[in-house]
């Protein structure tokens, strides 16, 4: 049987693969898009709680982690959130901003998948799915990539890896990007789960397990090394107690920066950053308590602090501070100080994370030192890599899809050039 011939073959019909195929196809590239999963773009379908947080209007290089923080700059500036919004609007998809620049579909993530499929159709893209890739080789003489697939042999002068990271294996994630990188002599950055709930060892977490389900705004930080310097990365978002540890947006964000053995510092009452609705502008908690004590307040400490914490959490916390279970006027300064410190500088060291089964993204990927930031072509001529398979990982909030669109767009321009 003779091989099917294309100008380019894209492996992985997720966010980046679909968008790259559509953009290159519409520029005249004869293109095959193939994916081994039974269902199309399942990760887009489940994203954003089923509504797909498809971009973030604030997306910029500062919102991405990579061994080279500048690598994403070129692609992000050449295809912006506004460009993708224009496409979404062209397709008549209704959307809204949730908070912090995050844009979600009003109806469902399926709208974005349908849009990408229509865009592929407009580009005459051939799609094979499900179609497993059995092997890949480079025929140096012909200058072709030769793929043995479940539907026969495919030959193309260019090959694009858009096969994502390791997160959520049950919907089709594999380590193909790392395997092919090794085969073609490209450097990789070791993968690890990102945007993932953090866990604690059972004995350490036992006192907090009863708080499962409690959610509150918090400020969380971790120290990260930047070259020789150390700095604290902080996020102010909601956090959620679970049976095994901590989750919620604040924890997912910090999880991408957290390394094994590092303590997290958590402020459960971030004074200025997230005042409760209707709360007056506040002084630091300890100052407020001391001022109330100085006025001779007969209010219980629990009532004063209770303005700022869910009652289940407050009851639990005060149980560990017997010196504070009395009126403010009768509470020792030291006890107030210890209470505030435990609430506002809570230091706790996770033992691990929920892993790839729950991680929204995979950190690491093909090392950017071996990839052109202009074209996404690797050091191996004709081999491109886009989306999550590159060592570029966004924050929670639509940043990862924006990277998928932007890197795919840069690659598509190069394929057509």
Interface residue with ligand FDA, options 123, 164, 245, 270 (CB under 6 A) = 164
> What is the Cα–Cα distance from 34 to 120, expressed in whole angstroms?
12
Nearer to ligand FDA, 166 or 285 (CB): 166
Q: For ligand FDA, what does the binding mask look like between residues 102 and 141, x meaning CB under 6 A?
A: -------------------------------x--------
Q: At its nearest, how many Å lie between ligand FDA and the CB of residue 33?
A: 10
| 3 lies in the site for ligand FDA, by CB under 6 A | no
Among positions 168-197, residues that touch ligand FDA (CB under 6 A) are 168, 172-174, 176
For ligand FDA (CB under 6 A), the number of binding residues is 36
Q: Are 202 and 259 in contact (CB under 8 A)?
A: no
Which stretch, 136-144, 198-206, 341-349, 384-392, contacts ligand FDA (CB under 6 A)?
Answer: 384-392
Among positions 276-305, residues that touch ligand FDA (CB under 6 A) are none
> What is the Cα–Cα distance from 55 to 107, expressed in whole angstroms?
16
How many CB atoms lie under 10 A from the CB of residue 28? 12
| 93 lies in the site for ligand FDA, by CB under 6 A | no
Interface residue with ligand FDA, options 9, 24, 53, 136 (CB under 6 A) = 53
Among positions 7-26, residues that touch ligand FDA (CB under 6 A) are 11-17
Nearer to ligand FDA, 164 or 245 (CB): 164
**CA-closest candidate to residue 8, choices 203, 162, 166:** 162
Residue 10 — φ and ψ, nearest 5°?
-110, 125
Give me the residue label for tokens 């890599």: 385
**CA-closest candidate to residue 75, choices 20, 147, 10:** 20
**CA-closest candidate to residue 104, choices 115, 95, 113, 112:** 95
| 167 lies in the site for ligand FDA, by CB under 6 A | yes
Measure Cα distances from 148 to 13, 134, 220, 247 in Å: 18, 5, 48, 42
Structure tokens at 259: 């390394």
Q: At its nearest, how many Å lie between ligand FDA and the CB of residue 175?
A: 8
| 46 lies in the site for ligand FDA, by CB under 6 A | yes
Q: At its nearest, how many Å lie between ligand FDA and the CB of residue 229?
A: 29
Q: For ligand FDA, what does the binding mask look like between residues 203 and 242, x meaning CB under 6 A?
A: ----------------------------------------
Nearer to ligand FDA, 132 or 259 (CB): 132
> What is the Cα–Cα distance from 87 to 111, expressed in whole angstroms?
12
Residue nearest to ligand FDA (CB): 14
Q: Are 8 and 24 in contact (CB under 8 A)?
A: yes
E strand spans, 140-286: 144-149, 152-161, 188-194, 198-199, 215-226, 229-241, 245-247, 264-267
Among positions 322-361, residues that touch ligand FDA (CB under 6 A) are 360-361
> What is the Cα–Cα distance from 362 to 394, expressed in whole angstroms?
10
Q: At its nearest, how many Å lie between ligand FDA and the CB of residue 361?
A: 5
Q: Are 113 and 40 in contact (CB under 8 A)?
A: yes
Structure tokens at 357: 């089964």
Interface residue with ligand FDA, options 32, 76, 163, 240 (CB under 6 A) = 163
How many CB atoms lie under 10 A from the CB of residue 106? 10
| 404 lies in the site for ligand FDA, by CB under 6 A | yes
Interface residue with ligand FDA, options 136, 184, 398, 411 (CB under 6 A) = 398
Secondary-structure breakdown of the chain: helix, strand, coil percentages, each rounded to the nearest 5: 35, 25, 40
How many CB atoms lie under 10 A from the CB of residue 233? 16
| 365 lies in the site for ligand FDA, by CB under 6 A | no
Nearer to ligand FDA, 256 or 344 (CB): 256
> What is the Cα–Cα distance from 75 to 410, expressed in whole angstroms?
6
Site residues for ligand FDA per CB under 6 A: 11-17, 35-37, 43, 46-48, 52-53, 133, 162-164, 167-168, 172-174, 176, 360-361, 387-389, 398-401, 404
């Amino acid at each position: 049987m003779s091989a099917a011939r294309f100008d380019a073959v894209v492996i992985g019909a997720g966010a980046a693969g679909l968008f790259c195929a559509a953009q290159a196809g519409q520029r005249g590239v004869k293109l095959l898009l193939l994916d081994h999963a039974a269902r199309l773009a399942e990760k887009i379908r489940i994203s954003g709680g089923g509504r797909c947080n498809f971009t973030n209007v604030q997306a910029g290089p500062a919102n991405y982690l990579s061994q080279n923080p500048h690598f994403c700059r070129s692609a992000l500036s050449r295809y912006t959130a506004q460009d993708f919004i224009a496409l979404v609007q062209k397709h008549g998809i209704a959307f809204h901003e949730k908070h912090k620049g995050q844009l979600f579909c009003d109806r469902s993530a399926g709208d974005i998948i349908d849009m990408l499929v229509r865009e592929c159709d407009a580009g005459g893209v051939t799609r094979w799915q499900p179609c497993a890739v059995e092997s890949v080789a480079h025929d140096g003489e012909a200058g072709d990539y030769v793929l043995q697939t479940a539907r026969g042999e495919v030959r193309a002068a260019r090959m694009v890896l858009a096969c994502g990271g390791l997160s959520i294996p049950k919907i089709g994630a594999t380590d193909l990007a790392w395997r092919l990188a090794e085969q073609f002599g490209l450097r990789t950055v070791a993968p690890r789960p990102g945007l993932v709930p953090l866990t604690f060892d059972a004995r350490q977490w036992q006192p907090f397990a009863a708080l499962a389900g409690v959610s509150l705004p918090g400020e969380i930080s971790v120290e990260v090394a930047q070259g020789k310097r150390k700095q604290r990365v902080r996020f102010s978002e909601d956090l959620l107690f679970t049976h095994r540890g901590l989750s919620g947006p604040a924890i997912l964000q910090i999880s991408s920066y957290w390394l094994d053995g590092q303590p997290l510092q958590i402020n459960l009452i971030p004074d200025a950053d997230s005042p409760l609705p209707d709360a007056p502008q506040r002084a630091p908690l300890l100052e407020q308590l001391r001022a109330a004590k100085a006025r001779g307040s007969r209010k219980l400490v629990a009532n004063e602090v209770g303005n700022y914490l869910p009652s289940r959490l407050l009851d639990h916390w005060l149980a560990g501070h017997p010196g504070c279970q009395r009126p403010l006027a009768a509470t020792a300064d030291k006890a107030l100080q210890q209470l505030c410190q435990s609430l506002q500088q809570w230091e706790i060291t996770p033992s691990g994370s929920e892993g790839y089964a729950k991680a929204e993204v995979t950190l690491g990927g093909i090392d950017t030192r071996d990839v052109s930031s202009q074209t996404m072509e690797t050091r191996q001529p004709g081999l491109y890599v886009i989306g999550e398979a590159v060592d570029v990982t966004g924050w929670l909030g639509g940043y990862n899809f924006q990277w998928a669109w932007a890197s795919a767009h840069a690659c598509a321009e190069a394929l057509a050039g």
